[in-house]
């Protein structure tokens, strides 16, 4: 979804997802997404996947859903699979809201490679 250009280009990309998009990507769209992350790794790039919801709310919304429940263990398995296979090229971040994502994404792109090894979720959870 997002990257910088010109002199600010730093091989860092951000894929912003709503809760529903995230569930679809880690479910039926998993293999297509895996290929996307693999391409980023082949170009020595980094992909942040910013989910516009908190992890707690993803779980809560799933259990409150009357019409369509997602197999969360399956989603977590696929997410772990990506993060293990592409540990140096992909990170999932649950921002908590669209507004938080709008604040976070430009920062991720600006700092680029300097942030690739930082556990961004840790700082969001600690509200640092």
The Cβ of residue 94 has, within 10 Å, a number of other Cβ atoms equal to: 22
Element (H, E) at 114: none
Burial of 36: CB neighbours in 10 Å, binned 0-12, 13-18, 19+? middle
Pairing type for strands 12-17 and 2-3 reads: antiparallel
Reported as a pLDDT band with limits 50, 70 and 90, residue 122 is very high
pLDDT at 91: 98
> In the structure encoding, which two tokens stand for residue 47, read together?
């992909």
Q: Are 105 and 14 a contacting pair, CB within 8 Å? A: yes
* pTM, rounded to two decimals: 0.92
What pLDDT does residue 37 have?
A: 97
Task: Please report the pLDDT score of residue 70 as a whole number.
Answer: 77
For the purposes of burial, counting CB atoms within 10 Å of the CB of 124, is it exposed (0-12), middle (13-18) or buried (19 or more)?
A: middle
Residue-wise pLDDT tens digits, 39-92: 999 999 999 999 999 999 999 988 776 556 678 999 999 999 999 999 999 999
Answer whether residue 106 shows pLDDT above 90: yes
């Amino acid at each position: 979804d997002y990257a910088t250009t010109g002199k600010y280009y730093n091989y860092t990309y951000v894929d912003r997802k709503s809760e529903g998009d995230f569930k679809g990507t880690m479910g039926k769209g998993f293999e297509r997404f895996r290929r996307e992350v693999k391409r980023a790794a082949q170009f020595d790039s980094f992909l942040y996947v910013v989910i516009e919801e908190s992890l707690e709310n993803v779980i809560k919304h799933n259990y409150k859903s009357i019409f369509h429940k997602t197999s969360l263990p399956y989603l977590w398995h696929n997410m772990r699979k990506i993060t293990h296979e592409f540990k140096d090229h992909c990170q999932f971040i649950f921002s908590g809201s669209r507004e938080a994502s709008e604040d976070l994404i430009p920062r991720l792109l600006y700092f680029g490679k300097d942030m690739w090894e930082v556990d961004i979720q840790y700082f969001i959870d600690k509200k640092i």
